[in-house]
Amino acid sequence: MNIVVCIKQVPGTTQVKINPETGTLIRDGVEAVVNPFDEYAIEEAVRIKEKTGGTVKVITMGPPQADAVLRTAISMGADEGYLVSDRAFAGSDTWATSYTLSSGIKTMGKVDLIICGKQAIDGDTAQVGPGVAEMLDIPFVAWVKKVEEITENSIKVQRLMEEGYDVVEMPLPGLITVVKEINTPRVAGLKGKMKAKSAAIITLNTSNMDVNPERIGLKGSPTQVLRSFVPERKSGGEKISGDVGELVQKTASVIQNLGVVK
Amino acid sequence: MGIKVNLEKCIGCSLCVKACGPGAITITDKKAVIDMSKCTMCAACVESCKKFQAIEITKESSAKIDVKEYKNVAVFIEQHDGKIAGVSYEMLGEGRKLADDLGEKLVAVLLGSGMSDAAADLVKYGADKVVYFDSPELVQFRDDTYTALVCEFIESDKPSILLAGASSVGRSFVPKIAARVWGGLTADCTKLDVDTERRLLLGTRPAFGGNLMATIIAPHHRPQIATVRHKVMKAAARDESRTGEVVVKSVDASKINERTKILNFVKEVESTVNITEADVIVSGGRGMGKAENFALIRDLAEALGGAVGASRAAVDNEWIAYSHQVGQTGKTVCPKLYIACGISGSVQHMAGMQSSDFIIAINKDPNADIFQIANLGIVGDALEILPELTKVFKEKVCA
């Protein structure tokens, strides 16, 4: 089975800090990591490979230093890393990113299954996975929390919905996006880390990929950011402590006054 | 194309240098200089330079369509088992407002089977026109079919704006539509607006787990598509006097290449209240101590007619199913009332619930982070307070 995992380098969330003077995010000095949802995707791909045999290729789009996340994936058991990197791709929105990644995947030959994390924790859009599926014209299932069965030609998965889950079957090649519940990603061992360090990363750019120049980067991106701003933080309201009876009474009357309980 | 500093307007104040995350701007000879190899086009500098308006992002687009050919606001109506989802009424309410601002029509698109009454009803909720695809193939949500039919609608009706709920269904197939028609999609919006002069949809959405808000536009592409978070917009009120047309469309299943097959649905939520649509959520975390104590959360939720939520810690301890998890790796909710019990308030948890209208936090630790965003903070033991609180509301119901 030939599996491809799409991953993204993101700032480690807990360290996201706001510059108090300008009110913008401080990204400098923030550690760059593999998007957490993509770790579940990598882990699931490696688990499938361990069962069925085959290879796991990871692909990311970003600046040259984004090769670090490909190496992390290789340390977890992926076989090959593809870095899609070109100045011409700068300013890509999710549409152009989906288009560019799908073009990158087309260079890989036969692909049976593509796995993506459900969304990236910086943009939170959840658009690139379905976008790639659409552009490759392959079937797609979102929010996968379990792979029940996989054969050469089809996959059966559980898709998380608001009130439970659907059991969905689709033919392969296909694309799934995965949620946190699907597995617990392994911690890379020394052997994996050594392998990752020396692994050759394949770089894809406009010279070795077949892309329409009209559909990449800023020009190919339908959306643009008009403005970005830091939302006003909710400031804490009243804080009370003391006798349980009094606390309960106060809380009950606050809830009553909200008028949300019939 | 790109980002430009207007040298006449720039006074070299360096506000943009501080605002720039990737550190792409320096001041040389009292003017801002942008290093294009570092710039990510995030527009933070444009915002920081509001006073002088010296930085401008201009964009040339490859899109060749005539945006004037596209008109009207369309709303995708989501249904499950023939019942229209709450978020769709919110989209109708918001869509009506946007359509009125633009002086355009509101069109509802419904995919279902045997739902002609419900389709006609959408007029009472504000739609000027209802396009109803009626087929036994449309009982359940299916990615390929939904994508194909909504694309067919876009092609025939050419809406300028298309709205859908940011639900599991909406966020699954709407990106496929945007990919197919090269439309501009803004996901999970919490605010919508229109620029009536440029006739643009302004979609504002949280990113970085709610730490940054961004307003997105798609000037050269149509339709302008947005998925919108539950419970943020006001639901349309029913108005019996409203009139409109209903267009029923048949579906030629042989033309649709549906590749996914739903074998069955397994209900996992404990209560009948859908957590993303609930007005009240009672949520428990690590401070609940053990699985049995989670009953206290369920009891209060039931007494208040609300849904049960949980922090990641509670789910990891297997006190409750993952479908109840609120936060960055779980669900994003914004009920009218969120009661956090024994939840310390990690950045990730708060990202999933901080836009709730009113937050009550119960925690033993007076320094818990959750108190920073709680409208009412109760320093105390949830295990003692919850049963008493439940009693109060149970008595009210009985009396």
DSSP states along A39-78: HHHHHHHHHHHHHH--EEEEEEESSGGGHHHHHHHHHTT-
Which residues 30-49 of B are in CB contact (within 8 Å) with A?
A: 36-37, 39-44, 46-48
Radius of gyration of chain A (CA): 22
Distance CA A223, CA B220 (A): 9
Q: Is B176 helix (H, G, I), strand (E, B) or coil?
A: helix
Of B61, B337, B347, the CB nearest to A255: B337
Alpha-carbon distances of B300 from A6, B194, B321, B390, rounded to whole Å = 42, 41, 18, 5
pLDDT of residue A27: 59
Question: B67-255 in CATH: which number?
Answer: 3.40.50.620
Structure-token match 């267009």, residue found: B247
- Do residues A117 and A35 make contact, with C-beta atoms less than 8 angstroms apart? yes
Structural tokens at position A184: 């617990």
What is residue B272's DSSP assignment? S
Which of B261, B341, B394 would you mutate first to test chain A, the one with the most A CBs within 10 A?
Answer: B261
Q: Determine which helix (DSSP H) or strand (DSSP E) holds B388, and give its type and residue range.
A: helix B382-398
Structural tokens at position B6: 């207007």
Q: Is B397 helix (H, G, I), strand (E, B) or coil?
A: helix
For the segment B43-96, what is each residue's pLDDT rounded down to a tens digit? 788 888 888 889 987 766 777 788 899 999 999 999 999 999 999 999 999 999
- Do residues B160 and B72 make contact, with C-beta atoms less than 8 angstroms apart? yes
Distance CA B298, CA B324 (A): 12
Of B182, B275, B388, the CB nearest to A95: B182
Which of B49, B145, B161, B176 would you mutate first to test chain A, the one with the most A CBs within 10 A?
Answer: B176
Q: How close is the nearest chain A Cα to the Cα of B236, in Å?
A: 18
Q: Is the dihedral of CA A207, A213, A215, A219 positive or negative?
A: positive
Identity at B323, one-letter amino acid code:
S
Name the β-bridge partners of A26.
A17
Instruction: Quote the ipTM score.
Output: 0.90
Instruction: Render B17-83 in DSSP notation, one character per residue.
Output: HHH-TT--EEEETTEEEE-TTT-----HHHHHTTTT--EEEE--------GGG--SEEEEEPEETTE
- Do residues A159 and A141 make contact, with C-beta atoms less than 8 angstroms apart? yes
pLDDT of residue B115: 97
Identity at B364, one-letter amino acid code:
K
Q: Is B185 helix (H, G, I), strand (E, B) or coil?
A: strand
Distance CA B247, CA B128 (A): 11
Which of A224, A238, A241, A256 would you mutate first to test chain B, the one with the most B CBs within 10 A?
Answer: A224
pLDDT of residue A14: 45
Phi-psi region of A88 (alpha: psi -120 to 50; beta: other; left: phi over 0): alpha
Radius of gyration of chain B (CA): 24
Bridge-based pairing of strands B73-77 and B161-165 is parallel
Strand order of the β-sheet with A55-61 is A201-204, A80-84, A55-61, A2-7, A113-117, A174-178, A140-150, A154-161, A164-171, B261-267
CB environment B135-163: b (16+ within 10 A), e (fewer):
bebbbbbbbbbbbbbbebbbeebebbbbb
Distance CA B384, CA B20 (A): 49
Residues B132/B135/B137/B141 CA torsion (nearest 10 deg) = 20
Of B63, B337, B377, the CB nearest to A238: B377
- Do residues B54 and B70 make contact, with C-beta atoms less than 8 angstroms apart? no
Q: How close is the nearest chain A Cα to the Cα of B116, in Å?
A: 26
Rounded to 5 degrees, what angle do the CA atoms A34, A37, A39 make? 55
Name the β-bridge partners of B186.
B226
Within chain B, which residues score under 50 in pLDDT? 1, 399
Name every chain B residue with its beta carbon within 8 A of the beta carbon of A94.
Answer: 175, 185
B151 touches chain A (CB under 8 A): no
Of B21, B169, B184, the CB nearest to A24: B21
Query: Which residue spans of chain B are classified as CATH 3.40.50.1220?
Result: 280-398
What is residue B233's DSSP assignment? S
Query: Which residue spans of chain B are classified as CATH 3.30.70.20?
Result: 2-58
Of A119, A163, A160, the residue nearest B205 (C-alpha):
A119
Would you call A248 and B389 a contact, using CB atoms and an 8 Å cutoff? yes
| Distance, first Cα to last Cα, chain B | 68
Query: Which residue spans of chain B are classified as CATH 3.40.50.620?
Result: 67-255
- Do residues B278 and B307 make contact, with C-beta atoms less than 8 angstroms apart? yes
Q: Could you give all domains of chain A from N- to C-terminal order, each with its CATH number? A: 2-215 (3.40.50.620)
Of A27, A226, A251, the CB nearest to B360: A251
Name every chain A residue with its beta carbon within 8 A of the beta carbon of B188.
Answer: 124-126
Name every chain B residue with its beta carbon within 8 A of the beta carbon of A21.
Answer: 18
- Do residues A217 and A101 make contact, with C-beta atoms less than 8 angstroms apart? no
Domain B280-398: CATH architecture, name and number where available: 3-Layer(aba) Sandwich (3.40)
CB environment A80-93: b (16+ within 10 A), e (fewer):
bbbbbbbebbbbbb
Of B131, B145, B241, B229, the residue nearest B188 (C-alpha):
B229
Alpha-carbon distances of B101 from B72, B96, B125, B211, B229, rounded to whole Å = 11, 9, 17, 30, 21
Check if CATH label 3.40.50.2300 holds for domain B2-58.
Answer: no
Which residues 57-96 of B are in CB contact (within 8 Å) with A?
A: 57, 59-63
Would you call B217 and A224 a contact, using CB atoms and an 8 Å cutoff? yes
Q: Is A63 helix (H, G, I), strand (E, B) or coil?
A: coil
Bridge-based pairing of strands B73-77 and B106-112 is parallel
pLDDT of residue A44: 98
- Do residues A233 and B345 make contact, with C-beta atoms less than 8 angstroms apart? no
pTM metric for this prediction: 0.85
Q: Which residues have a Cβ under 8 Å from the Cβ of B303 and sit 6 or more positions away?
A: B390, B393, B394, B397
Name every chain B residue with its beta carbon within 8 A of the beta carbon of A224.
Answer: 41, 57, 59, 216-219
Distance CA B203, CA B358 (A): 24
- Do residues B224 and B160 make contact, with C-beta atoms less than 8 angstroms apart? yes
CB count within 10 Å of CB A189 equals 12
Name every chain A residue with its beta carbon within 8 A of the beta carbon of B274.
Answer: 162-163
Identity at B245, one-letter amino acid code:
E
What are the residue ranges of helices labelled H in B81-185?
86-102, 116-124, 143-157, 170-181
pLDDT of residue A160: 92
Q: In whole angstroms, what separates CA A58 from the centre of its chain?
A: 12
- Do residues B370 and B345 make contact, with C-beta atoms less than 8 angstroms apart? yes
Task: Please state the φ and ψ torsions of residue B51, each to the nearest 5 degrees.
Answer: -65, -40
Name every chain A residue with its beta carbon within 8 A of the beta carbon of B308.
Answer: none
Within chain A, which residues score under 70 in pLDDT? 13-29, 233-234, 262
Of A172, A144, A170, the residue nearest A158 (C-alpha):
A144
Alpha-carbon distances of B303 from B4, B57, B188, rounded to whole Å = 58, 53, 31
Name every chain B residue with its beta carbon within 8 A of the beta carbon of A25.
Answer: 21, 44, 208, 211-212
